[in-house]
Copies of this chain bind each other. A is one copy, B any other.
Amino acid sequence: MTAQRDGVLRATRRGFIAASAGLLAAACSDERAASAPPAPPSPTDRNRTEPFFGEHQSGILTPAQAHTYFAAFDLTTGKRDDIVALFRSWTTAAERMCRGQPSEPASNGAQSPATDSCDVLEVPPSQLTVTFGFGAGLFIKDGKDRYGLAGKRPAALVDMPHFPGDQLVEARSGGDLSIQACANDAQVAFHAVRQLARLAYGVAEIRWVQTGFVADFGEHATPRNLMGFKDGTGNPKVDDPALMDAFIWVGDEGPDWLRGGSYVVARRSRIALEHWDRMTVAFQEQTFGRQKLSGAPLGKPAEADAVDLEATTSDGNPVIPENSHVRLAHHTSNDGARILRRSYSYNDGVSFTAERWPPWHQGMEYDAGLLFIGYQRDPRTGFIKIFERMSRFDMMNQFVTNVGSGLFACPRGIAAGEFLGQSLFSTA
């Protein structure tokens, strides 16, 4: 709802919602709305909020919301102070938006440029999370120490190796900063990045973005990817703190700003869906190493059953093929390496494609597939370790083209009163 204050109309997303639900008898200003009692529990997750401040950034262990808008930025400023100012404003704006408020208060009739674009003004918080990451370019770029941070580049923030089959497009890869906005509403996720990008005018520019989605399979079900298979069954359990400390959170080996943070690998993997749809289900299952409908590992009846990589058929062949996705991804095949996958499907329409094998089709094909997002404590012993072999041997590779890739160090969570990455800048 709107309220008269300082002679202008002001509104908040939360204000609108609360009022339309009849919770507030009187109109309220945006700051008062923030301290209003929380809405009663809703049967939907539209009204849920995720904490912005805390030990860890949200959006990592948070169960995947329905939509993401992942953006990578190039820093264009030469001044360290600009970055500090940007991170201060990003912190304030992101925290507001995660509470369902505009990035800055908005008003009708203002004679100044719009502060918030207002396109989700009445939309509930939708469980928005905003997760920031720092690319290598924040520390050093083309050999230049732009901000006096070169000495603080963490060892694990490596340059990603080239993997067999990579067809990386420069304009879809890299970046000095990253923002992963996730929400149960596509527009809320886009809105968040759009406001943050506006606050970065003159300091940082969008380099690439990727939208993603995951369908609603129910709270305790493993979602399916566009290949029609359940994806994420073998993920480490996020409610096991020891597992998270071991594999996801950076520990004492990292600097203060990164301790309790993580590393994210984001990759755009186009999938040849028209090909895949022409394969027999039996072949698809050999490729994955799992049954299509049930999600059970081959040779087992249920999705939750442990993958048995030793099992053999009566003629001595492995039940789960040597080159199947599940075998190559499994931690016992990778010296125990584990990462937390938090991937989305993406769908960017169609583009002209010339096929190089039967059915030799030329024409419009889906530009759709997987926005792979994986979190880990150290990419050298996480994604890179696992993908070294997968990129060589995975049967699935024939359907997948990796066209974009980024690696970012995600700082630890922000405490109230702090700003993003503060201790990276405050220490000498």
Residues of A whose CB lies within 8 Å of any CB of B are 2, 9, 11, 17, 20, 43-44, 46, 66-67, 69, 106-114, 116-124, 126, 171, 185-188, 190, 194, 198, 205-211, 213-218, 221, 224-229, 273-274, 276-282, 284-285, 291-294, 345, 347-350, 352, 363-364, 366, 368
* B215 pairs with A273, CB closer than 8 A: no
* A281 pairs with B109, CB closer than 8 A: yes
Interface centre among A186, A214, A274, A291 (most CB of B within 10 A): A186
* A350 pairs with B225, CB closer than 8 A: no
* B186 pairs with A215, CB closer than 8 A: yes
Q: Which 6 A-B pairs have the closest CB atoms?
A: A118-B228, A187-B215, A43-B43, A110-B281, A119-B228, A186-B213
Measured CB to CB, the nearest residue on chain B to A69 is: B347
* A114 pairs with B213, CB closer than 8 A: no
User: A67 contacts which chain B residues (CB < 8 A)?
Assistant: 186
Given contacts A186-B186, A186-B215, A187-B214, contact A194 B273 (CB under 8 A): yes
Interface centre among A293, A294, A368 (most CB of B within 10 A): A293
* A119 pairs with B227, CB closer than 8 A: yes
User: A348 contacts which chain B residues (CB < 8 A)?
Assistant: 348-349
User: A116 contacts which chain B residues (CB < 8 A)?
Assistant: 228
A307 CB to nearest chain B CB (Å) = 17
* A277 pairs with B211, CB closer than 8 A: no
A262 CB to nearest chain B CB (Å) = 25
Taken together as a complex, chains A and B put the C-alpha atoms of A112 and B278 apart, in Å, by 9
* B121 pairs with A228, CB closer than 8 A: yes
Given contacts A211-B347, A224-B120, A293-B108, contact A114 B284 (CB under 8 A): yes
Which of B117, B123, B280, B294 is in CB contact (< 8 Å) with A226? B117
Given contacts A108-B285, A110-B280, A281-B114, contact A9 B347 (CB under 8 A): no
CB-defined A-B contacts under 8 Å, sample of 9: A20-B221, A46-B216, A67-B186, A106-B292, A111-B282, A119-B215, A205-B364, A208-B350, A348-B348
Taken together as a complex, chains A and B put the C-alpha atoms of A193 and B244 apart, in Å, by 39
Interface centre among A2, A278, A364 (most CB of B within 10 A): A364
* B123 pairs with A217, CB closer than 8 A: yes
Measured CB to CB, the nearest residue on chain B to A194 is: B273
User: A366 contacts which chain B residues (CB < 8 A)?
Assistant: 194
* A280 pairs with B114, CB closer than 8 A: yes
A259 CB to nearest chain B CB (Å) = 33
A236 CB to nearest chain B CB (Å) = 23
* A293 pairs with B107, CB closer than 8 A: yes
A356 CB to nearest chain B CB (Å) = 18
Taken together as a complex, chains A and B put the C-alpha atoms of A206 and B349 apart, in Å, by 10
| Further pairs besides A114-B279, A211-B347: 6, Cβ < 8 Å | A107-B293, A108-B285, A109-B285, A123-B215, A206-B363, A206-B364
User: A278 contacts which chain B residues (CB < 8 A)?
Assistant: 113
